[in-house]
Structure 1
Amino acid sequence: MGREFVELFEEWSEYYDDTVSGYDKEYRDVFHGYEQILKEVVNRSQGHVLEFGVGTGNLTICLLKAGLSVTGVEPSASMRRKAVEKLHGQIPILDGDFLEFPTHRQIDTFVSTYAFHHLTDEEKEKAIVNYGKLLHRGGKIVFADTMYESKEAHQAAIQQAKDAGFLKLATDLSTEYYTTIPFLQKVLKENGFDASFTRCNQFVWIVEAQKL
């Protein structure tokens, strides 16, 4: 992920789980249905899974409970410590991100939740090109993240947050690299993926892309 956001995650590690549980009203709608979103990502995953942006390990736990083999990568040292503690050391959590990660094992599914927006669109395209080269036919990308049907929809979401008095959320939506579905559709298609998009809440969609 974008390493420029690592300092933010060092701080957020202390209260991330409170945020996803709906404690912070500004982000309550962003994380609405959080447990179901994790479940949907797990249900779409297969084989050996490489998880980007493990955070405190919430998705990782679900993947392991489903019997999947997982390699976790996370650029924040504080988040890695939280995840290792929560997972009781079941798997190592490695220092890595969407662009730099271990490839010594065959990867069947790339997964992530609430993290791909830390890459610019240029970086997202670079990442998808790389995944297309690494995945075998039938391999998958399964990412859940905030994205928009158009640039206009993105701007409308920023204004809605401002109107609600959610200035921190509005700032996040303005400064982080939220993309559009048409952009991802185009890049995925160009790199040999068949992709579908499923809306989970007001903000989050799941993209499930299978290598043809």
Structure 2
Amino acid sequence: MGLEFIPIFKEWADEYDETVAGHDPEYADVFLGYEEMLKMITEKSGQTVLEFGSGTGNLTLALLNAGKDVYPVEPSVEMRALAQSKPELATVEFLAGDMENFPLPNRNIDTIAANFVFHHLNGIEKKRALKKYAALLPQGGKVIIGDTMFVSQLRFDAIITAAIAAGKQTLASDLQREYYPLLPDLENYFHEAGFAVKFWQINTFAWIAEAVKK
């Protein structure tokens, strides 16, 4: 499940924090407002958070600084090592796993969160994962996802065309390779899994979905 992208994580690990900080021109627009996304996801999260795709630990740290109990799950050995090399995260246990196969926390959770991760799942995997999350969460529990999403296929295609025209071939290839969701599809997936969902747009690419279990 999305593990075909592990080699990309390995290559990207050392530059990830620089990229999300806006220092890579190809991805600057994608990560515009990144800190705002971390803040918004943190504010919308409950007390006990299962975090998927914790990467270099940016959302993990934001959640911990807000007093949350966090169980970060990350498939990439390199990303886990980088996260744990940060002094403020040195004592945090970053669990090996992915969005479908993961160790269960030793306590009940009220939130599942992920930032720039969900696009690694294809449509079937997204639906399957959300149903699994629904089984783990109590009524009123949340799934909060920050990611690149698009309002329609027409808009998605236009963004790819614009990236190619601007010479951003790496970005264009990324958009064509991964499974970036359309909002109507993601809304349907959430509804099928028993969630009510709202969306907030952060920039041209990024949105936050807040889904509450009915």
If the TM-score is normalised by the length of the shorter chain, which range does it land in? Answer: over 0.9
Aligned to 1:124: 126
How far apart, in 2, do the equivalents of 1:22 and 1:53 lie? 20
Unmatched runs of 5 consecutive residues or more in structure 1: none
Aligned to 1:174: 176
How far apart, in 2, do the equivalents of 1:140 and 1:47 lie? 11
| Structure 1 stretches of at least 4 aligned residues deviating more than 4 Å after TM superposition | none
Aligned to 1:184: 186
Greater shift, 45-54 or 87-96, is seen at 87-96
Greater shift, 94-103 or 139-148, is seen at 94-103
User: Secondary structure of the residue that 1:98 maps to in structure 2?
Assistant: coil
Q: Deviations over 1:15-74 (max 9, x none)?
A: 111101111101000000111111000010002101101111011100000000000000
How far apart, in 1, do the equivalents of 2:192 and 2:118 lie? 19
Aligned to 1:143: 145
Give the letter aligned to residue 57 of structure 1: G
User: Secondary structure of the residue that 1:25 maps to in structure 2?
Assistant: coil
Give the letter aligned to residue 15 of structure 2: Y
Aligned to 2:68: 68
User: Secondary structure of the residue that 1:133 maps to in structure 2?
Assistant: helix
How far apart, in 2, do the equivalents of 1:48 and 1:88 lie? 17
How far apart, in 2, do the equivalents of 1:150 and 1:105 lie? 39
Determine if contact 2:61/2:89 at 8 Å carries over to the other structure.
Answer: no
TM-score (norm 1): 0.97
User: Secondary structure of the residue that 1:196 maps to in structure 2?
Assistant: strand
User: Secondary structure of the residue that 2:26 maps to in structure 1?
Assistant: helix
How far apart, in 1, do the equivalents of 2:100 and 2:28 lie? 29
Per-residue deviation at 1:189? 1.0
How far apart, in 2, do the equivalents of 1:16 and 1:88 lie? 17
Give the letter aligned to residue 59 of structure 1: L
Per-residue deviation at 1:90? 2.8
Per-residue deviation at 1:107? 1.5
Q: Deviations over 1:101-150 (max 9, x none)?
A: 12242121000111100110110011001111111001000000001111
Greater shift, 73-82 or 103-112, is seen at 103-112
Identity of aligned residues (%): 47
User: Secondary structure of the residue that 2:200 maps to in structure 1?
Assistant: strand
RMSD over aligned Cα atoms:
1.0
User: Secondary structure of the residue that 1:13 maps to in structure 2?
Assistant: helix
How far apart, in 1, do the equivalents of 2:158 and 2:107 lie? 42
Aligned to 2:52: 52
Unmatched runs of 5 consecutive residues or more in structure 2: none
Aligned to 1:5: 5
How far apart, in 2, do the equivalents of 1:39 and 1:88 lie? 18
TM-score (norm 2): 0.97
Per-residue deviation at 1:85? 1.3
How far apart, in 2, do the equivalents of 1:74 and 1:140 lie? 20
Per-residue deviation at 1:99? 0.3
Determine if contact 2:127/2:193 at 8 Å carries over to the other structure.
Answer: no
